[in-house]
Structure 1
């Protein structure tokens, strides 16, 4: 009898990158888009160290070292814009986390699913609109003859406030409207984190006699802390991004003292004033500060809670 030869295993054809080739092909447009619009412009940072002349280009423009940075740091408008940027960005970051956190905890206690879905939809709608639309609505609402002033006039008799040209109120309107626009998105993220909390923890707490408030305080909040930490770290990365598109649309010269930020200053210098090198230096300064804040916040997060973002 002939001995049967042992079956030879055929090598798998779909291994490594070949197995997920469709996914990598789908990534190609995103990689190309990122390379063109995120990495290629980095070469333009050389303008921050030059006296850049568009007709001469990068090679023909003279190298001036740190002269542009010395120039922007001594500008009175830079100091004002820097302080405004930090104040607006700080309150936006804090409130964009606290407001969705409170709203998500409240929605989690709602027992009527139809009501919960309706509220989620309503608060999520502003997130899909651009500031070109929302800014027009806000400007109409807070106009001197808008809804708010008409209500004040009816209640207090001939009492109207010029919200849009008042340094006392305009910064608060900027911050509150940005929080209102983005709170729906962050609320959904936090609700998703809450739904992933193990139900057995709540059952055990009920057996021990814990009420709803103690369950929220000792179970829900600690369980969604990683999500809150991630949102905080990502927010700190944009500590000097106070909302250029929003402020540019709603901005007017009378409130320059309280809402003029670095981005609007860069816009005026680079586009209107054609001071390309100074604008590039200011942009580089913003990037460096953002990287430092991200690194510090990530390090603190890792040391205190042993939680890794990446």
Structure 2
């Protein structure tokens, strides 16, 4: 009796392992397809995470990663007590809020407008036109901005002069730095951001619209009661994921737009890390700053995901 009872769990565990192995063999082609993606994340996302250890060390290249002395939270303490910390935090936070408030809704609105177009050739033409800026590098985008707004021969500046308006240097203005950053992001990335929302809209059952038309619902009512609820979960998930990179304001764009006159409003964590880590060789200190940003992003994701679940949404996990 005891032998039988002891053998049953062993056979049960063996059958479970055999069943799992059989399912893996049955879906082996799918696992082979996802293997490159898993390998990419393992090599370039998870393995480099060991590098954050130098935020707690005084990293010396000639002594190596493991032999450098531990200093605990020395670099964090130095960063938080640095007078420039609050300036960096303010500039980064304001740009991040502007991104969420002004950029995040734009792809949703564009996707909703594209979804209302009935001429397929016209819809595809518009999609192609607004996708193209995504493939243009930030160097080219900033170059275009300088071509239009430079005080020395800029197209827009010359138009203002020809119209008898006083010349104004947008590129040197503290007041115009943040709006120009957001407008550049909107122009470059809004079209690309519509892809996921258009994919979600393609899954809406057409019979819902037909039933709404029979009931006399206007296009706006259909949009409000059918289209938006259908993509609400997608919006929530993308919003939560966006919060994960809340403090990532884009190094390349801001670095190219910075100059000596707008640095007071344009210096952010990313440019500060570049100056201290790459130019000055303070690897441990710059890693501590980057780790601080990552922890803030993680906390925001966890908080937003919990809030989404309390409001009845699924969240990301």
- TM-score with structure 1 setting the length: 0.89
Residues 149, 171 of structure 2: 8 Å contact kept? yes
1:296 aligns with 2:317: no
Secondary structure in 2 aligned to 1:242? coil
Q: CA RMSD in A?
A: 2.1
Residue from 213, 217, 220 that aligns with 1:213:
220
Counterparts of residues 150-161 of structure 1 (less than 5 Å) = 150-155=158-163, 157-161=164-168
Residues 306, 315 of structure 2: 8 Å contact kept? no
Match of 2:115 in 1: 108
1:170 aligns with 2:177: yes
Give the superposition deviation at 1:290.
0.7
Unaligned runs of 5+ in 1: 1-11
Residues 139, 250 of structure 1: 8 Å contact kept? no
1:147 aligns with 2:155: yes
Counterparts of residues 271-310 of structure 1 (less than 5 Å) = 271-310=278-317
Measured in 1, the distance between the counterparts of 2:214 and 2:125 equals 32
Residues 204, 230 of structure 2: 8 Å contact kept? yes
Match of 2:94 in 1: 87
Match of 1:245 in 2: 252
Of residues 141-150 and 289-298 in structure 1, the stretch that sits farther from structure 2 once superposed is 141-150
Counterparts of residues 1-310 of structure 1 (less than 5 Å) = 15-144=22-151, 145-155=153-163, 157-310=164-317
**Residues 104/35 of structure 1: CA separation in 2 closer, same or farther (3 Å cut):** closer
Residues 103, 182 of structure 2: 8 Å contact kept? no
Match of 2:14 in 1: none
Whose helix proportion is higher, 1 or 2? 2
Measured in 2, the distance between the counterparts of 1:192 and 1:161 equals 43
Measured in 2, the distance between the counterparts of 1:35 and 1:193 equals 29
**Residues 76/217 of structure 1: CA separation in 2 closer, same or farther (3 Å cut):** same
Residues 82, 262 of structure 1: 8 Å contact kept? yes
- Aligned pairs, number: 298
**4+ residue stretches of structure 1 with deviation over 6 A?**
none
After superposition, give the CA deviation of every residue in 1:225-282 in whole Å (9 maximum; x if it has no partner).
1121122111111011011121122222321111111011011011112222211111
Secondary structure in 1 aligned to 2:293? helix
**Residues 22/54 of structure 1: CA separation in 2 closer, same or farther (3 Å cut):** same
**Residues 230/306 of structure 1: CA separation in 2 closer, same or farther (3 Å cut):** closer
Secondary structure in 2 aligned to 1:15? helix
Residues 237, 315 of structure 2: 8 Å contact kept? no
After superposition, give the CA deviation of every residue in 1:48-107 in whole Å (9 maximum; x if it has no partner).
112222112233322221111110011122221111111112221332321122222222
Give the superposition deviation at 1:158.
4.4
Secondary structure in 2 aligned to 1:202? helix
**Residues 309/60 of structure 1: CA separation in 2 closer, same or farther (3 Å cut):** closer
Measured in 2, the distance between the counterparts of 1:69 and 1:228 equals 35
Unaligned runs of 5+ in 2: 1-18
